[in-house]
Amino acid sequence: MSQFRQDPIVGRWVIVATERAAKPQEIVQQTRRESLQACPFCEGQEEETTAELLAVRPASTAADGPGWQVRVIPNKYPAVTSDGETARCGWGFQREVQGVGAHEVIVECPQHETNLARLPAAHVADVLRAYRDRFKHHKRDQRIAYALLFKNYGALAGASMEHCHSQILATPIVPELIGEELAGSWEFHQRNNRCVYCALVEEELDGGARVVVQTANYAVLCPFASRFPFEMWLVPLRHQEHFDDERDDDFAELAEVLTTVLGRLAAVLNDPAYNFYLHTSPLHAGATPHYHWHLEIFPRLAQLAGFEHGGGMFINPIPPEDAAALLRP
């Protein structure tokens, strides 16, 4: 079983996931090996994967057989697993808890398409609904504090499989960056009695220089302090705290916005590798008037180097105003 270990100086948690690789060489070779085999995520290859947890498929088709549109399965190389209790954390320099949680893959289409940007928006709405339904599922598990949804597209973005997919990693600990956002937005709310994301979006729509897309309910903007060239944040205009509170009829518009900006990213930067991830309130946080879900998207154009790793400070050669001008449809 994997372990969550805490750094004694800064409090940063790490998952030591021994089930992912038996030998050092395998870390390096895993990516290569997988890409040589037939794609297990394609329709018809269901017996090559773990058993499905959820699928968008007609009632006439059987689980773990063909006929599906979206399929959620446990990750074959999980960083965390769901057996066991969440132990309390110990004292001293070696604080650790058991690696209880879930690690799932959302296979986003049956055919061998690689980029979500090229799927029809109506299909992507089903994908987003599957994300939401998995959040609802994890919310029922009191051992799990947070479910982080993320996508790795392309080898440079850390993807080991080509076939269009995202992942959910559900953990007993709220990841550090979400903790920082919760703390910062809490402080803003205490001072201003307002959600910082609501205030920020209002100011950005007012100015407009960093806005990529605006629809009735969503905006996509290149944030003022973008860490990465062409970084984008997709934010609901209304104050929305939990992604799993999104209703079925929100997803058509959201899918349209997401495929539009991912399509622009592919068009402007020649189909780059990219990541996106969803930041939402912790599953059991209840009402969070200070916090607002959003999706952060960024292409992987350059390697992060020693300065970024060593300082946690980023160097961005493209001002977000220029990026937004190029990305705007």
Interaction mask 230-249, a second copy, x per CB under 8 A: x-------------------
Answer whether 196's CB lies under 8 Å from 182's CB. Answer: no
Q: Which of residues 86-125 bind a second copy (CB under 8 A)?
A: 93-94
63 binds a second copy (CB under 8 A): no
User: Distance between CA atoms of 296 and 278, rounded to whole angstroms?
Assistant: 6
Considering only residues 121 through 160, tell me which ones interact with a second copy, judged by CB under 8 A. Answer: 148, 150-152, 155-159
CB of 219 to a second copy, least distance (A): 15
Of residues 19-48, those binding a second copy (CB under 8 A) = 20-21, 24, 27-28, 31
Q: Which residues, numbered 172-211, are part of the site for a second copy (CB under 8 A)?
A: 173, 175-178, 180-181, 183-185, 188, 196-197, 199-200, 203
Q: Which of 16, 63, 87, 122 binds a second copy (CB under 8 A)?
A: 16
Q: Which residues, including other chains, have CB under 8 Å from residue 139's CB and lie 6 or more apart?
A: 244, 283, 284
Identity of the residue, 171 or 260, whose beta carbon is nearer to a second copy in the bound complex:
171
Eight-class DSSP state of 88: P
Q: What is the distance between the alpha carbons of residues 290 and 28, in angstroms, rounded to a whole number? A: 42
Among 14, 51, 87, 267, binds a second copy (CB under 8 A): 14
Cβ atoms 183, 196 nearer than 8 A:
no
What whole-number distance in Å separates Cα of residue 61 and Cα of residue 24? 42
In the complex with a second copy, which residue's Cβ is closer, 125 or 147?
A: 147
Sites for a second copy among residues 309-328 (CB under 8 A): 309-320, 326
Residue 149 is which amino acid? L
Give the one residue of 50, 69, 167, 214 binding a second copy; rule: CB under 8 A: 167
Cβ atoms of 112 and 163 within 8 Å: the answer is yes
Range in contact with a second copy (rule: CB under 8 A) among 15-23, 43-51, 60-68, 131-139: 15-23
What part of residues 66-85 is at the interface with a second copy (CB under 8 A)? 79
Residues 260-319 close enough to bind a second copy by CB under 8 A: 268-269, 275-279, 296, 298, 300-319
Q: For residue 289, how many C-alpha atoms fall within 13 Å in the half-sphere facing its CB?
A: 8
What is the nearest approach in angstroms of a second copy to the Cβ of residue 275?
4
Helix (H, G, I), strand (E, B) or coil at 213: strand
- Tell me whether residue 261 is exposed, middle or buried, using C-beta atoms within 10 angstroms of its C-beta: 0 to 12, 13 to 18, 19 or more: buried
Mind telling me the catalytic residues?
A: 165
Q: How far is residue 80's CA from residue 99's CA, in Å, rounded to a whole number?
A: 5
Q: CB-wise, 68 or 168, nearer to a second copy?
A: 168
Report the DSSP pairing between strands 218-221 and 294-299: unpaired
Q: Note whether 297 and 262 are within 8 A (CB).
A: yes
CB of 140 to a second copy, least distance (A): 21
Strand partners, 249: none
Residue 309 CB, shortest distance to a second copy, in Å, is: 6
Nearer to a second copy, 78 or 110 (CB): 78
In angstroms, the CA 267 to CA 272 distance is 9
